[in-house]
C-alpha cells in the first residue's frame, strides 16, 4: 500500500494561487474548463497559469461533457495535462477524448444513506482505464459542490487508486485519509472550496494548512 497521500489544489484562477500551491508542496493543480462553474477559466488562461508550474508538478484539466475537439484543443495548449472527466462521460467517451493521455473519472456519491447504494466497485471496473477514480458528493449541477458525502459508507476494499474530494478542509482531511487509506491501492486528496476566501479566490494560509495537515497525517499513519 502506498502511504504517501498525493495532494491536488483545484479551481485555480490566479497567479498568486498557483504560486501558493507550489510553495506549499502540492503535487497537482486543477483548472476548471466548465463554463458554468464560478471557478471557470479558459484553456488559454489555464495555459498561462501552467507556465508557472515547476517540473514534475501535474496540471489537471476538469471538463464536463465537453466536445472532443474542445478537449483536444485544450490539451494542445497544455501537453502535459491530465484530464478529469466530471460529467456524464461513458468509459468509451473518456478513452476517445483522452487518447493516450492519463485521466481521472469523477464518481458522484449520493449524500446520506443513499451513498450506501452506490456501487463503487462496479464503477471502478467500468472505468478501469482511468488513472484514478475521484470521489465527490452528488449535488445539483456539475463540477463539484463543496459537499462531503458519508465516507464510512464506502466499500471496505476497492481495487483502485482513489482521489477523495468534496468538502475537504484543513480540519477534516485527516479523518478522510484515515477512513479511505485502508480501502484502496493508493489515496490522493483534492481540495477547492476548503481553501478559499471566495469562489475561485484561494487563501494561501489555508492551502499551507491543508498540505501540512495531510503530511502530518501521513507521518502519524507511517509511525
Active site members:
10, 136
113's grid cell: 444513506
| Residues 208, 22 contacting (CB under 8 angstroms) | no
CA distance 18 to 10: 10
- Residue 110 DSSP class: P
3-state secondary structure of 165: coil
CA distance 59 to 157: 29
Q: What burial class does residue 106 get, using C-beta atoms within 10 Å of its C-beta: 0-12 exposed, 13-18 middle, 19+ buried?
A: buried
The b-or-e profile of 120-151 (16+ CB within 10 A means b, else e) is: beebbeebeebbbbbbbbbbeebbbbbebbbb
CA distance 11 to 196: 10
Q: For 113, what's the count of Cα atoms within 13 Å in the CB-facing half-sphere? A: 0
Amino acid at each position: 500500500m502506498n502511504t504517501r497521500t498525493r495532494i491536488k489544489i483545484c479551481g485555480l484562477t490566479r497567479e498568486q494561487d498557483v504560486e501558493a500551491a507550489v510553495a506549499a508542496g502540492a503535487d497537482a493543480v486543477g483548472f476548471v474548463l466548465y463554463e458554468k462553474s464560478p471557478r471557470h477559466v479558459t484553456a488559454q488562461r489555464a495555459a498561462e497559469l501552467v507556465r508557472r508550474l515547476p517540473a514534475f508538478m501535474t496540471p489537471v484539466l476538469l471538463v464536463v461533457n465537453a466536445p472532443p475537439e474542445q478537449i483536444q484543443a485544450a490539451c494542445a495548449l497544455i501537453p502535459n495535462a491530465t484530464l478529469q472527466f466530471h460529467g456524464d462521460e461513458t468509459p468509451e467517451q473518456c478513452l476517445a477524448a483522452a487518447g493516450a493521455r492519463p485521466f481521472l473519472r469523477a464518481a458522484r456519491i449520493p449524500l446520506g444513506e443513499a451513498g450506501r447504494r452506490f456501487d463503487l466497485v462496479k464503477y471502478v471496473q467500468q472505468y478501469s482505464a482511468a488513472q484514478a477514480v475521484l470521489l465527490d458528493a452528488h449535488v445539483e449541477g456539475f463540477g463539484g459542490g463543496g459537499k462531503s458525502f458519508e465516507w464510512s459508507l464506502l466499500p471496505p476494499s476497492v481495487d483502485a487508486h482513489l482521489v477523495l474530494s468534496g468538502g475537504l478542509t484543513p480540519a477534516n482531511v485527516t479523518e478522510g485519509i484515515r477512513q479511505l487509506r485502508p480501502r484502496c491501492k493508493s489515496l490522493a486528496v483534492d481540495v477547492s472550496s476548503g481553501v478559499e476566501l471566495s469562489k475561485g479566490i484561494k487563501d494561501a494560509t489555508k492551502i499551507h494548512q491543508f498540505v501540512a495537515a495531510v503530511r502530518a497525517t501521513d507521518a502519524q499513519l507511517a509511525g
